[in-house]
């Protein structure tokens, strides 16, 4: 239970814009990967927590959450990738659709780039 709380706190810190660069906390991003490697059973919870941050009203948070999602997919293997494809990909597709206006222009561009990248890396 303590690891779940630590994971959620790390996701929040990793996706909270801070400093002049507006990026999330890179240390928290590393913590998330360490937690997931030590506790692979928390992958579903990690995907849920990141998805919540993707739904945030702040476009900066959305973009950072998408970056975090991409990093987690690259670092944590097929099991996490499958959870993302089932649970978060529909949201990313909505973001990339300019007619839906689910997010701002920057988030829309980031989503479109991720879809292309994921199709190349993971098939589709």
The structure's pTM equals 0.90
Q: 90-102, pLDDT tens digit by residue?
A: 889 888 887 767 6
Q: 64-123, pLDDT tens digit by residue?
A: 999 999 999 999 989 999 999 999 998 898 888 877 676 888 999 999 999 999 888 887
Those residues with Cβ within 8 angstroms of residue 78's Cβ, 6 or more apart along the chain or in another chain: none
Q: 19-31, pLDDT tens digit by residue?
A: 667 788 999 999 9
What residues are paired with 84 via a beta bridge? none
Q: What is the pLDDT of residue 124?
A: 59
CA dist 62 → 20, 35, 57, 78, 82 (Å): 17, 22, 8, 23, 21
Q: Can you tell me the distance from the alpha carbon of 96 to that of 111, in angstroms, rounded to the nearest whole number?
A: 5
């Amino acid at each position: 239970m303590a690891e779940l709380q630590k994971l959620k706190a790390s996701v929040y810190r990793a996706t909270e814009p801070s400093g002049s660069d507006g990026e999330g906390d890179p240390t928290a991003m590393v913590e998330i990967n360490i937690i997931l490697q030590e506790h692979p059973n928390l992958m579903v919870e990690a995907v849920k927590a990141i998805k919540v941050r993707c739904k945030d009203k702040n476009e900066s948070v959305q973009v950072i959450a998408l970056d975090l999602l991409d990093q987690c997919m690259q670092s944590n293997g097929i099991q996490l990738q499958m959870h993302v494809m089932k649970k978060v990909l529909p949201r990313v597709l909505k973001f990339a659709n300019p007619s839906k206006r689910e997010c701002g222009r920057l988030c829309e561009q980031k989503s479109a780039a991720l879809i292309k990248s994921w199709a190349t890396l993971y098939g589709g």
